[in-house]
Chain A
Amino acid sequence: MKISETSGTCGNLRFRGLQVVRVAASWVLAAQLAFVPFAYGTAGKSDSPMPAAPASDPVLKAMQGELARASSELGKAEQPPYYLSYTVYDQEFTVLVGAYGSLLHTTAAQHRQADVTMRVGTPELDNTHGQSRGSGITSGPLPFGNDQDAIARILWELTDREFKRAVPTLLNVRTNTAVRAEEEDKSPDFSKEKPQTHLGEVPPPALFDRSAWEGEIKRLSAAFRKYPDVYFATVVLQVQRSNSRMVSSEGSSIVSPTASTRLVMEAQTRADDGMDLLRVETFQAPSAGGLPGETDLSAKIEKMASDLNALRKAPVAEPYDGPALLSGRAAAVFFHEVLGHRLEGHRQRDEEEGQTFTKKVGQEVLPKFLSVIDDPTMHEIAGVKLAGTYDFDNEGEPAQRVNVIENGVLKNFLLSRMPIKDFGNSNGHGRSQPGLMPTGRQGNLIVTSSQTVPDSQLRQKLIDEVKKQNKPYGLYFDDIQGGFTLTGRSLPQAFQVLPVIVYKVYADGRPDELVRGVDIVGTPLAALTRILLTGDQPHVFNGVCGAESGQVPVAAVAPSMLFSEMEVQKRAHEHERPPLLPPPGFEDTSVGKDAQAKPEGKP
């Protein structure tokens, strides 16, 4: 499908091998900031793009004025638009990247982009129908300041261009619809919704002491110098302030500012057989002040490094099918991939989709003791900030808590303004990255359970199940780095979760054994029915999710879960050897690799 691990590479710099992970990681941020592809700069010299008081915001005024003019001018056309909206995304960000005690890059930039969304035809059938969805949007960069003439001028250009694209596309859509067999889901293309007005106040920028943070990033990244086997390590701080303004021909006017800070520590090693092993720690807060202190972060680094050292030496897991315990974070990713993506509204009517759950509304799809909601209005759980929080979605609809599964029974889907059979309205889940048409997406997917045991008893429950099934061991999935899933019809319906810390838990009382190179695989419906019980504490996985409508920040929350059966396969990996020479600073063999990790041989 559309996304591959290396889609971030471009230009004349090639990254491979060890660096593949860097590329994959790169791609995440690049896509997240996709409307700012060349993101190096010094911000702040020109007018700040963030208005102080939205009511008198000249940018909003220019948008409203030009929208009204375009609606009236194009209203006279033979094929007038029935819907037109302008969204202007402002973004200011600073990124600091440290590696081994030095700054590898620093970036500070500001960007402003306009998305012009237009629909011609009727809400029943318009230019965005089916595979033509992209014809509804045209984007371009806007000037930073408050020059209303310049802003109006560019909005006009983009609108004219969009109009010239939307009208011929509508003709194609009409022809195709007439020629092709009738579609199964005859829902209209656009739902009717109430216009929204919300002028969020833009808070003053939080205090950010850049040079102090540069020092901290250098110090934190220098901690990895102690570990000769951690070949690649970065500490990345990303501080971001955003504002989105939206006006629509339906009368909506929304100003929605956000701010976020992420600290990502990534470390990688390679086992002797060539398997790359990765540990990532992510922290999220509204401002840099909300991040953990340097002492806590240093402790995390020590833990990452010792995990990697242990993983290098760990045996490769064999294919296995049997009881498994997933930590809350692992279970959360599992639900995001296996369930969440299949509940996205547009997949229920797209005829190329597998439609696993389309006709299961009112039926039991999970064990009765599990319920699932998606609630973008929640800000934190168990003291952890959630990444998938927003107040209005990218179609200007207010975020809503949606009960998708109640006591195991499927009730609802995650809906944008694209209606599906029996669900005619948006429930505030129309999300996209700037520049792309929104579709139904997850925000904060939260799994709750009524069949719980205290987290402390879970390991014993796993051993009990292993014994019951007469297996030598079960698997405990402690941490994962992410996952992906296929929902289409042309490829098998499958998912993969990429665990990094996995233990064999033996039935006979031997100590747990760390293993590496395990991937969870399987088919979604079967996997979901094998959950036996859960822990009693919610755990949060904050991440970035990519799909047709681009990269959006999401959270997945779940308790730990015991599965009666879980299938794992050996991970495919590169076979390139670890670096041949010792890293700089470890050239002298007497303080080489072994000296670092090896305890004294004799008491």
Chain B
Amino acid sequence: MRILRTSTGLALATMLSFHLPCLRAGSVDSNDTSVRTAPGDSKAAPDAAMAAAHSAAKGDGLLEALLTELDRSKAQLKMDQVQAPYFIEYRVNEVEDFSAEAAFGALRENQHVYVRVLRVVVRIGDYKQDSYFGRGQGESSYLPLDDDPIALRHQIWLATDEAYKAAGQALAEKQAALKQFSADPNPVDDFAKAPPLIAVEPTVALKVDEFAWEKTLEDATAIYKNYPDVQSLTASARFTADNEYLVNSEGTVTRSGKTTYLVSLNSSAQAADGMRLGRSPAYIVGRNEELPSHDALLGDAKKMLDTVVALRQAPIVEEEYRGPVLFAADAANDIVSSLIGQNVLGQKPQLGRPNRTTGAFATSYKTRVLPTFLTVVDDPTLKDFQGKSLVGSYAVDSEAVKAQPVNVIENGVLTNYLAGRQPIRDFPNSNGHGRGAPGSSPGPSVGVLLVKSSESQSLADLKKKVIQMVTDQGKPYGYRVDTLGQPGNTPRLLYRVYADGHEELVRGAVFSELDLRALRSDLLAVGNDPLVSNRAGRTPTTVISPSLLFGELEVKRADTSKDKLPDYPAPPLKK
């Protein structure tokens, strides 16, 4: 099929992706946000709530336009045979985004995006059962960049109309779909009530010298010239300021801003046998002054390339090893994020499924999931940790619910889930963890996940313990893993720890059976060295975990193909 068209437009969805690569690093942020509850509780007359909302929005053209359309839609939106909405929400993310990438000493990408993305949710039905299903989960649209009220409202109006019609259809589809299942005697509500909240905070903007950063990225990648064995070297930066505006028909008006600064390095090489080896360290911070300086980044780039070169020379692991493995805090953070962070989310299963959540902890409520010496808390209200900004910190979530600390695992026992406004069995309310990327539906998400222990030890003691164990078991060495690669938690820097204390770098390993059972039963001890690991995913999150020592884990040779080496040498350098 061939298509000939005159029309041209903007491929916004295609051109702009808010998905940041899932990266992580050591880091810090604070936004000084004070939150107050709207005058009157949720039972107050909605008119009073809306009046308070209007007065809070005064002076902000975007909030005013949102409220004007909200009032109009609330009062008038009604189609034959379809109920009027019982809830309407507008969330706008005003995103300023700078990104740049250099390869081999030369810049090959730089862009600056400034965009406003609206997400409209219109709900029909009631809190018990509503239209939040399929297309009824909301509509997205771009909004004008200036505050012209008519131009703004025009796009809001169109998106609301679409969302309402979609909600009407979605409710009918949902009710039809529910007919396939026998009625639930204790149904879980579709939507949690939340008190109206008024919290209009100052907006944020990017504060970086873009030109200087482009130069730094070029300089950091120019050092490939001194590393003939390194095949690729890139450095990239992505700096984002995201101001989130939210108004809803319950009388909530919030505005909050957040900056995230990411700088990452990436390099790869092949060993003589063809095995591909890579490193991809990153810095993710909430305040630009915490980013590494030009010289510090160059120094780190050299260190990284040194490890790549060392990996090329390193021996391949034996076919299989079972024994103690010590995860340094950086590697431990990845384990905590993937095995604990993903499973404590209170994500409601799909229609008709009786489980509590979609995660592996769905049926683990009130059971032991970790050793009793461990407690896990998610506390987005924590702004700094050991002087470092936490990008997972926030005061109000993407559903305008105040952030709260939540003890998810207490002394090894699962006691709670991270929840947004979509209730799950036994947990009818949001605990302020509903977060969403710009333009997408919010869902339960990690904020700042901390692993705490009543029995922590120094790293040196943990290493001694590894040596003791291998000696007792008659093994020549144990393993210590420094850092992992994603996806799949594969070791990037893995060392053999010999009885005399010396270490040897190895390559080509994977962990097997690194799972929930191992966490619950084989985790022996933790370090006293909690490390901040900021992560830039769909929404920025932070994990803080100390080193973890597993008594028994399997390390085995990776089953990956060894690619051919280049068919001819790299070009000689001109300068």
Contact string against A for B residues 4-24, beta-carbon threshold 8 Å, 1 for contact and 0 otherwise: 111111111111111100000
Partner of B4, one of A103, A145, A554: A554
Return B168 CB to nearest CB of chain A, in Å: 11
CB-CB under 8 A from B185, the residues of chain A are: none
Return B82 CB to nearest CB of chain A, in Å: 10
Chain B interface: which of A131-139, A185-193, A543-551?
A543-551
Using known A-B contacts A16-B135, A580-B164, determine if residue A8 contacts B11 with beta carbons closer than 8 Å.
Answer: yes
Indicate whether B426 reaches chain A with its CB closer than 8 angstroms: no
Tell me the complex Cα distance, A99–B437, Å: 25
Partner of B7, one of A12, A160, A264, A581: A264
Contact string against A for B residues 140-157, beta-carbon threshold 8 Å, 1 for contact and 0 otherwise: 111111101111111101
Tell me the complex Cα distance, A486–B1, Å: 5
Indicate whether B69 reaches chain A with its CB closer than 8 angstroms: yes
Indicate whether B223 reaches chain A with its CB closer than 8 angstroms: no
Q: Say whether B2 contacts A579, CB under 8 Å.
A: no
Q: Which residues in window 121-165 of B have CB below 8 A to A? A: 135, 139-146, 148-155, 157-158, 161-162, 164-165
Indicate whether B3 reaches chain A with its CB closer than 8 angstroms: yes
Indicate whether B573 reaches chain A with its CB closer than 8 angstroms: yes
Tell me the complex Cα distance, A337–B9, Å: 22
Return B242 CB to nearest CB of chain A, in Å: 14
Chain B, interface size category, equals 35 or more
Q: Say whether B115 contacts A105, CB under 8 Å.
A: yes
Q: Say whether A545 contacts B4, CB under 8 Å.
A: yes
Tell me the complex Cα distance, A33–B104, Å: 25
Chain A interface: which of B186-194, B282-290, B338-346, B564-572?
B564-572
Q: Say whether A282 contacts B2, CB under 8 Å.
A: no
Indicate whether B483 reaches chain A with its CB closer than 8 angstroms: no
Q: Which residues in window 469-494 of A have CB below 8 A to B? A: 481-487
Return A63 CB to nearest CB of chain B, in Å: 12
Tell me the complex Cα distance, A556–B113, Å: 36
Q: Which residue of A lies closest to B135 (CB)?
A: A16
Q: Which residues in window 565-595 of A have CB below 8 A to B? A: 576-577, 579-581, 583-585, 587
Q: Say whether A164 contacts B564, CB under 8 Å.
A: yes
Indicate whether A331 reaches chain B with its CB closer than 8 angstroms: no
Partner of A149, one of B104, B108, B157, B231: B104
Using known A-B contacts A545-B3, A584-B69, determine if residue A142 contacts B108 with beta carbons closer than 8 Å.
Answer: yes
Chain B interface: which of A21-29, A249-257, A351-359, A524-532?
A21-29
Q: Which residue of B lies closest to A58 (CB)?
A: B574
Q: Say whether A583 contacts B154, CB under 8 Å.
A: yes
Indicate whether B439 reaches chain A with its CB closer than 8 angstroms: yes
Q: Say whether A25 contacts B162, CB under 8 Å.
A: no
Return B93 CB to nearest CB of chain A, in Å: 11
Q: Say whether A542 contacts B567, CB under 8 Å.
A: no
Q: Say whether B571 contacts A153, CB under 8 Å.
A: yes
Contact string against A for B residues 393-417, beta-carbon threshold 8 Å, 1 for contact and 0 otherwise: 0000000000000000000000000
Q: Say whether B144 contacts A38, CB under 8 Å.
A: no
Partner of B2, one of A18, A141, A545: A545
Using known A-B contacts A40-B113, A232-B158, A544-B4, determine if residue A156 contacts B108 with beta carbons closer than 8 Å.
Answer: no
Which of B78, B571, B575: most chain A CB closer than 10 A? B571
CB-CB under 8 A from A299, the residues of chain B are: none
Partner of A37, one of B2, B14, B149: B14
Indicate whether B499 reaches chain A with its CB closer than 8 angstroms: no
Return B156 CB to nearest CB of chain A, in Å: 8
Tell me the complex Cα distance, A17–B161, Å: 10
Q: Which residues in window 1-41 of A have CB below 8 A to B? A: 1-4, 8-19, 21-30, 32, 37-41
Tell me the complex Cα distance, A45–B111, Å: 11
Indicate whether B60 reaches chain A with its CB closer than 8 angstroms: no
Indicate whether B35 reaches chain A with its CB closer than 8 angstroms: no
Q: Say whether B79 contacts A580, CB under 8 Å.
A: yes
Partner of A27, one of B11, B79, B143, B437: B11
Return A220 CB to nearest CB of chain B, in Å: 13
Q: Say whether B150 contacts A15, CB under 8 Å.
A: no
Tell me the complex Cα distance, A542–B8, Å: 12
CB-CB under 8 A from B77, the residues of chain A are: 580-581
Number of A-B contacts (CB under 8 A): 310
CB-CB under 8 A from B566, the residues of chain A are: 156, 160
Q: Say whether A28 contacts B9, CB under 8 Å.
A: yes
Indicate whether B278 reaches chain A with its CB closer than 8 angstroms: no
Indicate whether B514 reaches chain A with its CB closer than 8 angstroms: no
Q: Which residue of B lies closest to A582 (CB)?
A: B157
Which of B73, B161, B570: most chain A CB closer than 10 A? B161
Return A133 CB to nearest CB of chain B, in Å: 17
Q: Say whether A577 contacts B165, CB under 8 Å.
A: yes
Contact string against B for A residues 444-483, beta-carbon threshold 8 Å, 1 for contact and 0 otherwise: 0000000000000000000000000000000000000111
Q: Say whether A74 contacts B112, CB under 8 Å.
A: no
Using known A-B contacts A24-B5, A66-B571, A236-B9, determine if residue A16 contacts B162 with beta carbons closer than 8 Å.
Answer: yes
Indicate whether B450 reaches chain A with its CB closer than 8 angstroms: no
Q: Say whether B10 contacts A105, CB under 8 Å.
A: yes
Indicate whether B105 reaches chain A with its CB closer than 8 angstroms: yes
Using known A-B contacts A11-B13, A143-B107, determine if residue A152 contacts B135 with beta carbons closer than 8 Å.
Answer: no
CB-CB under 8 A from A8, the residues of chain B are: 11, 13-14
Tell me the complex Cα distance, A14–B135, Å: 9
CB-CB under 8 A from A273, the residues of chain B are: none
Contact string against B for A residues 96-135, beta-carbon threshold 8 Å, 1 for contact and 0 otherwise: 0101111111110100100000000000000000000000
Using known A-B contacts A101-B150, A157-B232, A543-B6, determine if residue A579 contacts B158 with beta carbons closer than 8 Å.
Answer: yes
Tell me the complex Cα distance, A156–B143, Å: 43
Q: Say whether B211 contacts A45, CB under 8 Å.
A: yes
Indicate whether A148 reaches chain B with its CB closer than 8 angstroms: yes
Using known A-B contacts A17-B165, A73-B569, A145-B107, determine if residue A38 contacts B17 with beta carbons closer than 8 Å.
Answer: yes
Q: Say whether B144 contacts A99, CB under 8 Å.
A: yes
Q: Say whether A3 contacts B6, CB under 8 Å.
A: no
Partner of B567, one of A29, A46, A144, A164: A164
Indicate whether A70 reaches chain B with its CB closer than 8 angstroms: yes
CB-CB under 8 A from A109, the residues of chain B are: 111
Tell me the complex Cα distance, A482–B139, Å: 28
Return B8 CB to nearest CB of chain A, in Å: 4
Q: Which residues in window 1-55 of B have CB below 8 A to A? A: 1-19
Q: Say whether B11 contacts A148, CB under 8 Å.
A: no
Q: Which residues in window 76-107 of A have CB below 8 A to B? A: 77, 95, 97, 99-107
Contact string against A for B residues 218-260, beta-carbon threshold 8 Å, 1 for contact and 0 otherwise: 0000001100000110000000000000000000000000000
Which of A143, A234, A262, A486: most chain B CB closer than 10 A? A143
Indicate whether B102 reaches chain A with its CB closer than 8 angstroms: yes
Tell me the complex Cα distance, A248–B377, Å: 62
Indicate whether B106 reaches chain A with its CB closer than 8 angstroms: yes
Q: Say whether B150 contacts A585, CB under 8 Å.
A: yes
Chain A to chain B: the 9 pairs with minimum beta-carbon distance, closest first: A41-B111, A30-B11, A143-B106, A102-B151, A25-B9, A102-B144, A73-B568, A584-B153, A150-B106
Q: Which residues of A are interface residues toward B (Cβ below 8 A)? A: 1-4, 8-19, 21-30, 32, 37-42, 45-46, 65-66, 69-70, 73-74, 77, 95, 97, 99-107, 109, 112, 141-145, 147-157, 160, 163-164, 222, 225, 231-232, 234, 236, 238, 262, 264, 266, 278, 280, 282, 333, 336-337, 341, 481-487, 541-547, 554, 556, 576-577, 579-581, 583-585, 587
A sample of 25 cross-chain residue pairs with beta-carbon separation below 8 angstroms, ordered by A number, consists of A9-B14, A11-B14, A12-B440, A19-B141, A29-B9, A37-B15, A41-B109, A41-B113, A46-B107, A74-B568, A102-B151, A107-B15, A143-B108, A156-B570, A164-B567, A262-B8, A483-B4, A484-B2, A484-B4, A544-B8, A579-B161, A580-B79, A583-B157, A584-B69, A585-B153
- Beyond the given pairs A154-B103, A234-B9, A580-B77, 7 more chain A to chain B contacts, judged by CB atoms under 8 angstroms and listed by A's residue number, are A8-B13, A26-B13, A154-B104, A232-B158, A546-B4, A554-B4, A577-B165
Q: Which residues of B are interface residues toward A (Cβ below 8 A)? A: 1-19, 68-69, 72-73, 76-79, 97, 102-115, 117, 135, 139-146, 148-155, 157-158, 161-162, 164-166, 210-211, 214, 224-225, 231-232, 437, 439-440, 564, 566-571, 573-575
